Amino acid sequence: MSVNARLCFSLLLLTLTPFSTYAQSCTFGAPFVGPAITESLNARSIYASKPDFSNPVSTPLAHALEKRFEETLQRTQASEASISLYSPEHGFWSNSRGNTAQSKPFWLASIGKLATAIVITQLIEEKQLLPDDTIDRWFPEIPQSDLITIDQLLRHTSGLHNFNHIDSVRNQREYKSPAYLLEKSVDQGLDFCPGTDWNYSNTGYLVLARIAEKLDEKTYANIVQDRIASPLNLSSFKVISQDSDSNTIVTPVTTSAPEFRNDIAGIHGAGSIVSTTNDAITFLSAYLRGQLISDSNIADSLQRLYPVFNSSAHYGRGVMVIHVPDPDHPTVWVGHSGGAPDGKALLMFDLTRKTYLALALNVQAPAEAIANAILKELD
């Protein structure tokens, strides 16, 4: 398999092969028997600096990056694309394709899970939650909810059935409320006993956002605004709701604006955030530099990393660690990837190059391979 092929994965798409429903009784604290947990990352290895958007890359490097970006986009059907990159050694660079790519935010898809994880961790730091709290006090209707913990939801080990696995849900191109998505997931039962295995679950992050709403007594959109976007002055970083103006976000090639808005609004804490790539980099930088949660919780998020299916990625507590399988330029990325048939996004910090990169496209395309090609121009 080629490097590019191995780099190309989309979390929302990789979860379309369902686990069988687990109907047996479970016990609290049952041992993990899933794929071997062999990965961890020392948070001290991350020396992330604050992006300086006023310091551009050199003109020759800008031309090289632009040429490479255009070459990689020609292999996709993207009509709108945006990329932002910051390296303390080389400076800042951004580029876009399309008439609206520079002014309108893109759907970040599953990258939004990092925001949900940050909000939940803030609530933990405020003593409103504990990682080992079970969710039965909020969601007694969920099977084995007295065994499912906050930490399991964050790490995708809860066993909650992913609503993306349900054909009747996946094929509806219309607004589906969080309550409806949760109900459909609950109807499927658990995939496995809580804590015993790993399976990417959008439902788990929807539940986390609902819990945050109950504790903060605000909508998820207002929580993200108050806890993340406003403190960091991120004007484009927003949660899409049914009431959002569909013309204010980049629309996928294959979907109308209202249809797209309605389709992503209901997924809630699982990935309903939009942003420009510049604001996305600022968001990741603030997370890695301890502006949003404590250094100790960043370290905890990077421990007990679970293999993401057969890809080169591993999953912590709302964050991904991607080992780039490039024999000539091996490196590690920390951040999150996201995508679906309507779009693809990638937000990461390259540990070797100490470089941030955010990329968004309005089609499903190999963002990881595009990013890797762009980053090679820095070597």
What per-residue confidence (pLDDT) applies to 22? 53
Report the 10 Å Cβ neighbour count for 208. 27
Supply φ then ψ for residue 283, to 5 degrees: -60, -50
Overall residue count recorded for the chain in this entry: 379
Distance CA 178, CA 180 (A): 5
43 Cβ neighbours under 8 A, 6+ residues apart = 295, 298, 299, 302
Identify whether the C-beta of residue 274 lies closer than 8 Å to the C-beta of residue 18.
no
**Dihedral angle, C-alpha 299, 301, 304, 307, nearest 10 °:** -130
Coil vs helix vs strand at 80: coil
What per-residue confidence (pLDDT) applies to 173? 75
62 Cβ neighbours under 8 A, 6+ residues apart = 56, 93
Quick check: pTM over 0.95?
no
262 Cβ neighbours under 8 A, 6+ residues apart = 173, 174, 175, 242
Fill in the DSSP letter of residue 362: S
Supply φ then ψ for residue 313, to 5 degrees: -105, 155
pLDDT tens for each residue of the chain, 379 residues long: 344 444 443 344 333 334 444 546 899 989 999 988 877 888 878 888 899 999 999 999 999 999 999 999 999 999 999 999 999 999 999 999 986 545 789 999 999 999 999 999 999 999 999 999 999 999 999 999 999 999 999 999 999 999 998 988 877 778 999 999 999 999 999 999 999 999 999 999 999 999 999 999 999 999 999 999 999 999 999 999 999 998 889 988 888 888 889 889 999 999 999 999 999 999 999 999 999 999 999 999 999 999 998 788 999 999 999 999 888 889 999 999 998 888 999 999 999 999 999 999 999 999 999 999 999 999 9
What per-residue confidence (pLDDT) applies to 15? 37
